[in-house]
Chain A
Amino acid sequence: MGLRRLENKKKHHFLVAVTILTSLLIISIVLGICIGSTSINIKEILGIIFYKIGITEKGTWTTGNENIIWLIRTPRALLAAVVGAGLAVSGASLQALLKNDLADPFTLGISSGASLGAVLSIGFGIFNTFGIFGIQVGGFLGAILAFTIVFYLSRRQGEISPTSLILAGIGTGYVFSGITSFITLVSSKKELAGQILSWTLGSLARADWRDLTIPSLVLIGTTIYLTLQSRNLNLIATNDEFASTLGLEVPTFRKRLFIIISLTVGVIVAVSGSIGFIGLIIPHIVRFFTGTNHKYLLPISLISGSIFLVWVDILARTVVSPAEVPAGVITSLLGGAFFLLLLWKKQTKAHK
């Protein structure tokens, strides 16, 4: 039967795509570790990695090279992968929740909220009860606050208008960034002044192993939850009444998505600052191939987001080497242009 063949073909294509993309991701991460201002040959790099994860014996390399590879480049490449994945998945679920394919944690001001939360926690230690996770907790609370404000500002009689959504997002983003800059500038903490660039522009330069734990755990949890809920994401992306007639408890699911997305964006921004537009670009391109079914869209977006940010970070480190450009500057350049292109496409479509 034609249809069954097509559905199986889709599944087959999906598995092939996952395999290819995962291999690409592994290669990208290895290249991410290899490329840098100090050139170290690949044999030595692999030797160091295998030694560190306990597969082989210690070789003849210098401690300096070992530290560059294991304490700087490896966590950085892995963090790029985790952050890229998390942002792409958050973007895809935001777009479903808000029924708007221009939604993205950055354009909606959620990242700015998270930045503020993180800065408050460093500057005033208000989340010190949570120990080293204080920054992440601050990021999460800031994200959920900004998200809630944007959501209720753009909702009229149960309907979210796409225009007010984007405007509310941009406005909220500005207010939160303004407060963040203010606190950073007037704060007596030197630590903050040094980090202002990474909060506002988004950078992976300070990555270390400790930064990886929470975002990785959150990413795994989020991915499992969203994958299991892919049928419900397909429903909520249509319209609320339609979704509810097919058995979805819309208000409950919406709340859960709110928390999940804020958590992911919050902990990611806490370690990398607000790197924008990945949540916009990646799901858009992926949707072109997979269609709107979240069963395929989410996993492919996740891996693609990873690969994308690993390469953006490689670019960030090499383009003006030995200095570097914050990764967020590169994603803003690419993403901003992409966003304008989408707007223009929508306009021309509307005028036809």
Chain B
Amino acid sequence: MEKTNKSTQITKLSARKVQWGVKGKKIIKNISIAITNQELIGLIGPNGSGKSSLLRLLYKYYTPKQGGVYIKGRDILSMSQKEVAQNIGVVLQEKEGLNDRTVYDIVLMGRSPHKGIFEKDTKEDQEIVLDALNRVHLTNKENRHFSTLSGGEKQRVLIAMAIAQETEMLILDEPTNHLDPRYQLEIMNLIKSLNIPTIVAIHDLNLASMFCDRLILLKDGHIFTEGTPQKVLTKKNIKDVYDVDVEIQKTKNNRISVVYLNSHNPPPML
């Protein structure tokens, strides 16, 4: 990977002391994060720890109760949804309402943040869409309906859409969910190859350690710890946050791998 020069680091996206909740229940408690150049950040933590909520605050689907979110220093609340979409591409976990669209039409939707109501789709937009499809290796499937694609292909279509959006940052919510190992690796490699500041919420700790430059570990709506995978994925941290016993092994390429130990008692037989 390219080494980023410290002096040229710019904060692309940040959250400062952000809080959010519903009906008196605090879900995000005082979180501050900053994303700089070309980092791939993994957001990890148990179910319900606030990963999706934090991401929704970052792309302005939720409004913080306190604190703020900033894109290149600008308060996200002073920006229109369109401006946010010009800066951040988002790949969601839910794919409702896309089934009867063609691959081409979905990827073309990535151009909408750049379009005024009087503007037509141009030849240039077509080129951008084609190029994005090419980058995710779906060139020959542009006329297929979304519902006919495999899980991995669906994910690649949505990543192509985010590429066509031509943003400086990407946010992905569990992009490897429901995929077999081959597709999981393929998707993570694809994300990594885009080489732009990216936050990805991810459950698989081994994928997180293999691909991410930095990990943010959430527990109950706050940051438990953050840093390099080696620093974050320790036996103690994982026990404290997930209540799971693990063994940490070093792999050849100086990455680490997490091995789960089944120390839980099996449930009583019925």
Chain B residue nearest in CB terms to A248: B81
As a 0/1 sequence over residues 126 to 144 of chain B, the CB contacts with chain A under 8 angstroms (1 = contact) are 1000100000000000110
Known A235-B112, A238-B97; contact A249-B80, beta-carbon cutoff 8 A: yes
Q: Chain A nearest CB: distance from B82 CB in Å?
A: 4
- Interface size (A, Cβ < 8 Å)? 27
Inter-chain contact B85/A242, CB cutoff 8 Å: no
Inter-chain contact B126/A4, CB cutoff 8 Å: yes
C-alpha gap A292/B109 in the complex (Å): 13
Chain A residues with CB below 8 A from B260, complex form: none
Quick check: is B113 within 8 A (CB to CB) of the other chain?
Answer: yes
Chain B residues with CB below 8 A from A6, complex form: 143
Q: Chain B nearest CB: distance from A125 CB in Å?
A: 40
* A247 partner, pick from B85, B97, B102, beta carbons under 8 A: B85
Chain A residues with CB below 8 A from B61, complex form: 241, 244-245
Chain B residues with CB below 8 A from A235, complex form: 109, 112
Quick check: is A265 within 8 A (CB to CB) of the other chain?
Answer: no
C-alpha gap A194/B130 in the complex (Å): 62
Chain A residues with CB below 8 A from B81, complex form: 244, 247-250
Chain B residue nearest in CB terms to A101: B100
As a 0/1 sequence over residues 33 to 67 of chain B, the CB contacts with chain A under 8 angstroms (1 = contact) are 00000000000000000000000100111000000
Inter-chain contact B97/A3, CB cutoff 8 Å: no
C-alpha gap A238/B105 in the complex (Å): 12
As a 0/1 sequence over residues 267 to 296 of chain A, the CB contacts with chain B under 8 angstroms (1 = contact) are 000000000000000000000000111000
Chain B residues with CB below 8 A from A229, complex form: 117
Chain B residues with CB below 8 A from A292, complex form: 100-101, 105
Among B88-96, B207-215, B227-235, B238-246, which stretch is in contact with chain A?
A: B88-96
Inter-chain contact B112/A231, CB cutoff 8 Å: yes
Quick check: is B98 within 8 A (CB to CB) of the other chain?
Answer: yes
Chain A residues with CB below 8 A from B60, complex form: 244
Inter-chain contact A246/B101, CB cutoff 8 Å: no
Chain A residue nearest in CB terms to B90: A245
Known A228-B117, A241-B94; contact A3-B104, beta-carbon cutoff 8 A: yes
Quick check: is B110 within 8 A (CB to CB) of the other chain?
Answer: yes
C-alpha gap A228/B116 in the complex (Å): 9
Chain B residues with CB below 8 A from A246, complex form: 85, 109-110, 112-113, 165
Chain A residue nearest in CB terms to B80: A249
In the complex, chain A residues 194-237 whose Cβ is within 8 Å of any chain B Cβ: 228-229, 231-232, 234-235, 237
Q: Chain B nearest CB: distance from A290 CB in Å?
A: 12
* B105 partner, pick from A1, A239, A241, A293, beta carbons under 8 A: A293
As a 0/1 sequence over residues 1 to 17 of chain A, the CB contacts with chain B under 8 angstroms (1 = contact) are 10110110000000000
Chain A residues with CB below 8 A from B92, complex form: 241-242, 245
Quick check: is B182 within 8 A (CB to CB) of the other chain?
Answer: no
Q: Chain A nearest CB: distance from B12 CB in Å?
A: 17
Chain B residues with CB below 8 A from A244, complex form: 60-61, 81
Inter-chain contact B102/A99, CB cutoff 8 Å: no
Q: Chain B nearest CB: distance from A115 CB in Å?
A: 32
C-alpha gap A234/B102 in the complex (Å): 12
Q: Chain A nearest CB: distance from B34 CB in Å?
A: 21
Q: Chain A nearest CB: distance from B206 CB in Å?
A: 28
| A7, A229, A247, A291: most-surrounded residue (chain B CB, <10 A) | A247
Quick check: is B195 within 8 A (CB to CB) of the other chain?
Answer: no
In the complex, chain A residues 150-184 whose Cβ is within 8 Å of any chain B Cβ: none
Chain A residues with CB below 8 A from B110, complex form: 246
Chain B residues with CB below 8 A from A241, complex form: 56, 61, 92, 94
**Further pairs besides A231-B115, A246-B165: 20, Cβ < 8 Å:** A3-B104, A3-B126, A228-B118, A234-B109, A238-B98, A238-B101, A239-B97, A242-B92, A242-B94, A242-B98, A245-B85, A247-B81, A247-B82, A247-B84, A247-B112, A247-B113, A248-B112, A249-B80, A291-B100, A292-B105
3 tightest Cβ-Cβ pairs between the two chains A and B: A247-B85, A238-B97, A247-B113
